Chain A
Amino acid sequence: MVRYVRLLWIFLRTEMQYELEYRTNLALDIMQSLVIMGTSVGAVFVLFSYTTVLNGWDLEGMLVLLGCFYLVQGFSEFVLAPSFEKFMEHVRLGTLDFALLKPASAQFLVTLRQFRVTELTQFVLGALIVVVALSRMSVVSVYQGVGFVAALLCGFALVYALLLALSTFAFWFVRVDNLMAIYWSFLDAGRFPVDIYPGWLRLTLSTAVPIGIAVTVPAQAISGKLEPLGLGLLIVGTVTAFALSAWFWRLGLRSYTGASA
């Protein structure tokens, strides 16, 4: 376990050394993130210029949700998406074999290998939005805080499980950019609470592509809207999803190496 933490650190450190060399690129990327997130916040304000409440969410609650969205998306863009993109490239070029022959878990080496440090901006700004919005709300209880952190971690794990499952298809189809396009489409829907969407979309966002859950539930937790039962269900669901996708990955790996089913 400690060893894997050390490996994560060296992966991150190597990437930081590389990205920090390109200061202009870094500055531009940060500026881009600021622009994108600023305009998204602006969109929320436009919506709330006509109402004080939207489906039970007030402005502060919506901003918290938006912040959670950028926390989840930021985490995904920071390490998960770059790693999975790299993985697909490896399958295509035949260089995946190198990862399989290293004395460390192949799943770890594939899914947490590549960092994109500039995306930390999204993560940090997302946290900032959450903090600012919270300061305008009433006092937050310990229970809400703990629930928030737990739900957020579950959100990260759910996104991880989803991307792991999607990428496993690369073992059979090699090019799965198309599946990633589906992922991006649904990810965008996470910026608003999952309950505003029509039935079929809400269902998809809560199960097959659990982005909606990953973002909405933490926001509910911190706003005091979450029942313990809801949180419990989320945790159970997350553990299940995680185990399922890890099993699927192992299946894909066995297929790739020609092990009999």
Chain B
Amino acid sequence: MMHSRAPDNAVIMPGMTDAVVDVRELRKTFSVTEREEGLAATLRSFVKRHRKDVNAVAGITFRIEPGEVVGFLGPNGAGKTTTLKMLSGLLHPSAGEASVLGYVPWRRENAYLGRMTLLMGNRTQLVWDIPAADSFRVLQEIYRIPEGQFRSTVNELTELLELQELVHKPVRNLSLGERMKVEFAAGLIHSPSVAFLDEPTIGLDISMQVRIRRFVAEYNRRSGATILLTSHYMDDVVALCKRVIVIHRGTLLYDGPLADLAERMAPYKVITATLHDGAASSTDLDAYGTVVSREEGRVTLRVDRQLAPERTARLVNDLGSRLADISVEDPPIEEVIDRVFTSEQTTVSA
């Protein structure tokens, strides 16, 4: 059975709690050379380089408790992958502190590395030409997993991810989705207590995405491992994460329950009214709210959250039999996130 191993010889940090991930004012600044195109600019840059400091991560603070599944949201270049790299130990921060499982990640102590895992979508750690099962054996040796535990972990992962047919084929012969499943197994074979997943479902078809999500949820349930996940696909986050951390331009914009995010960032409801006959185009519904779109027989309105119940009641009343259907919903989560990114707000945790 899979189990998270209890900390032993953990490094004590000042003010440490039993949070699994403890991040304080973490900062990462890159210095990039800028150069315009063209021959003249190239020659000039030979002599004088223009350097610009880019704040990839501009001082973020958060804590994650054991067993949580937290989603990192942010547009490209927001700093999510950089944060993940610092927490996994691949990158030294420019300033700030972090501890994962009580270790300072970028020291890359073997004790830490044996208890964490980083999975990157689209990149594989498996050896291309040999069956995954052989790669597993190599990993067993590297992580020094006892035979009994190895076998039971492999069996459980094979069952959960439906790998029976796949592990004995050379990895290069697998489809992208199959490869991702095997990649997951390889990443979890040493039963880590913390898993960092960077865009795990990228490039996969819908049904495979669903399967992977189910697996991650089940894995978290069975093992109690803490999971940090970054993704572009809202469905990943919605399906798996009760809590989201929104990062934009290196700063933390929001840290709290996903449900509250909508309420906070997009305090409106979307009312869709479907009308009989072609009355949609002519009927003036401005009095009820901001008209967002009109299509054949359907009008979509945006209404302030507080006012939504009252406006809905009035619409039903006033339109009477002309109304074929009406729905009142939260704005789509993509829209919410979009508003978060395009607004210059800097709200912090819930």
When the two chains form their complex, are residues A97 and B90 in contact, meaning their CB atoms are under 8 A apart?
Answer: yes
A258 contacts partner chain B, Cβ-Cβ < 8 Å: yes
When the two chains form their complex, are residues B106 and A259 in contact, meaning their CB atoms are under 8 A apart?
Answer: yes
Q: Please, which residue of chain A has its CB at the minimum distance from the CB of B85?
A: A97
Q: How far is A17 from B138 in the complex, measured between Cα atoms in Å?
A: 13
B258 contacts partner chain A, Cβ-Cβ < 8 Å: no
B120 contacts partner chain A, Cβ-Cβ < 8 Å: yes
Specify which chain B residues have a CB less than 8 angstroms from the CB of A94 in the assembled complex.
120, 123
A137 contacts partner chain B, Cβ-Cβ < 8 Å: no
When the two chains form their complex, are residues A10 and B110 in contact, meaning their CB atoms are under 8 A apart?
Answer: no
Interface string of A5-16 (1 = CB under 8 A from B): 011001100100
Specify which chain B residues have a CB less than 8 angstroms from the CB of A11 in the assembled complex.
138
Q: How far is A189 from B279 in the complex, measured between Cα atoms in Å?
A: 89
B83 contacts partner chain A, Cβ-Cβ < 8 Å: no
When the two chains form their complex, are residues B142 and A102 in contact, meaning their CB atoms are under 8 A apart?
Answer: yes
Instruction: Report if A101-B108 is in contact (Cβ < 8 Å); known contacts: A95-B123, A95-B124, A95-B125.
Output: yes
Instruction: Report if A101-B89 is in contact (Cβ < 8 Å); known contacts: A93-B123, A95-B124.
Output: yes
B285 contacts partner chain A, Cβ-Cβ < 8 Å: no
Specify which chain A residues have a CB less than 8 angstroms from the CB of B137 in the assembled complex.
10, 14
Instruction: Report if A103-B88 is in contact (Cβ < 8 Å); known contacts: A14-B137, A18-B130.
Output: no
When the two chains form their complex, are residues A100 and B90 in contact, meaning their CB atoms are under 8 A apart?
Answer: yes
Q: How many residues of A contact B (CB 8 A)?
A: 23
Q: How far is A148 from B336 in the complex, measured between Cα atoms in Å?
A: 73
When the two chains form their complex, are residues B143 and A103 in contact, meaning their CB atoms are under 8 A apart?
Answer: yes
When the two chains form their complex, are residues B92 and A260 in contact, meaning their CB atoms are under 8 A apart?
Answer: yes
CB distance from B77 to the nearest CB of A (A): 16
> In the complex, which residues 81-116 of chain B have their Cβ closer than 8 Å to any Cβ of chain A?
85, 88-92, 94, 106, 108, 110-111, 113-114, 116
Q: Please, which residue of chain A has its CB at the minimum distance from the CB of B89?
A: A101
Specify which chain A residues have a CB less than 8 angstroms from the CB of B85 in the assembled complex.
97
Q: How far is A258 from B137 in the complex, measured between Cα atoms in Å?
A: 32
> In the complex, which residues 17-57 of chain A have their Cβ closer than 8 Å to any Cβ of chain B?
17-18
When the two chains form their complex, are residues A258 and B141 in contact, meaning their CB atoms are under 8 A apart?
Answer: no
Specify which chain A residues have a CB less than 8 angstroms from the CB of B138 in the assembled complex.
10-11, 14
A257 contacts partner chain B, Cβ-Cβ < 8 Å: yes
CB distance from B306 to the nearest CB of A (A): 48
When the two chains form their complex, are residues A97 and B120 in contact, meaning their CB atoms are under 8 A apart?
Answer: yes
Instruction: Report if A257-B141 is in contact (Cβ < 8 Å); known contacts: A94-B123, A97-B118.
Output: no
Q: How far is A101 from B120 in the complex, measured between Cα atoms in Å?
A: 12
Specify which chain B residues have a CB less than 8 angstroms from the CB of A98 in the assembled complex.
118, 123, 125
Q: Please, which residue of chain A has its CB at the minimum distance from the CB of B134?
A: A14
Q: Please, which residue of chain A has its CB at the minimum distance from the CB of B186?
A: A98
> In the complex, which residues 66-100 of chain A have their Cβ closer than 8 Å to any Cβ of chain B?
93-95, 97-98, 100
B12 contacts partner chain A, Cβ-Cβ < 8 Å: no
When the two chains form their complex, are residues B134 and A17 in contact, meaning their CB atoms are under 8 A apart?
Answer: yes
CB distance from A85 to the nearest CB of B (A): 13
Q: Enumerate 26 A-B pairs (CB-CB under 8 Å) in ascending A order.
A: A10-B138, A14-B130, A14-B134, A17-B130, A18-B130, A93-B123, A94-B120, A94-B123, A95-B124, A97-B85, A97-B118, A97-B123, A98-B118, A98-B123, A100-B89, A101-B108, A101-B118, A102-B143, A103-B111, A103-B114, A104-B110, A104-B142, A109-B142, A257-B90, A259-B106, A260-B92
17 extra interface residue pairs, beta carbon distance < 8 Å, beyond A93-B123, A102-B143, A258-B28: A14-B127, A18-B130, A95-B123, A97-B120, A97-B123, A98-B118, A98-B123, A100-B89, A100-B108, A101-B108, A102-B142, A103-B110, A103-B114, A103-B144, A104-B110, A104-B142, A258-B94
Please name the 8 residue pairs, one residue from A and one from B, whose CB atoms are nearest each other, closest first: A98-B125, A103-B110, A103-B113, A259-B92, A103-B114, A258-B92, A10-B141, A258-B91
